[in-house]
Amino acid sequence: MAGYGDDAGFASWLTDNGYVLPGTAPSPAVLRNRGSQYIDAVYGSRFLGSVVDPLQERQWPRERAIVNGKLLPSDVVPPAVINASYQAAYQEALKPGSLTAIGTSSGAVKRVKVGQIEKEYQTAKDDGTASAITPLISIVDGMLAPFLKDDDLVGFGIWSVGC
């Protein structure tokens, strides 16, 4: 499975950002594939639009994706998606296995009490999903934000106030 972008683009991105791959890192193609798998697994279901072909191996290209009021071409992978996959690939190079987490959300601390002080963590979930243990890379999250569905707008209503 091919990752987003290409090896030459990844090398250029590394240079432009002042990054150097560790000598023990896998090949750029392997890193790009891992970074792309991370992007698709974490963000794929929230990307705007829909995949062009339901049998395509990646979440991009997509059709009917409107970003900043513009319809994206259905044969293009946005540079931000490619760069986000490069960022994830670099993270994987620095710390192999960091893009995957193995565990259960049931092990997350929900409430802690020490003496009379008690604290409850709002992000702790025990719904069986992996969201509580999914590694997030803040810069990737920001890069992809314009390409994600806004869940807050789903099912909104318009209220009318009579005069």
- The Cα 100–Cα 97 span in angstroms is 6
- What is the per-residue pLDDT across 125-155, written as a single tens digit (0 to 9) for each? 455 544 555 788 999 999 999 999 986 544 4
Of the candidates 109, 102, 108, 107, the residue with the CA atom closest to the CA atom of residue 135: 102
| Coil vs helix vs strand at 128 | coil
Neighbouring C-beta atoms of residue 8, cutoff 10 Å: 9
What's the confidence (pLDDT) of residue 93? 97
User: Which tokens hold the place of 1?
Assistant: 């499975």
Count Cβ atoms within 10 A of the Cβ of residue 2 and give its class: 0-12 exposed, 13-18 middle, 19 or more buried: exposed
Q: What are phi and psi of 142, to 5 degrees?
A: -65, -40
- What is the per-residue pLDDT across 60-106, written as a single tens digit (0 to 9) for each? 999 999 999 999 999 999 999 999 999 999 999 999 999 987 755 55
Neighbouring C-beta atoms of residue 160, cutoff 10 Å: 6
> Confidence band (pLDDT; 50, 70, 90) for 124?
very low
> Confidence band (pLDDT; 50, 70, 90) for 27?
very high
Count Cβ atoms within 10 A of the Cβ of residue 85 and give its class: 0-12 exposed, 13-18 middle, 19 or more buried: buried
Q: Is the pLDDT of residue 117 over 80?
A: no
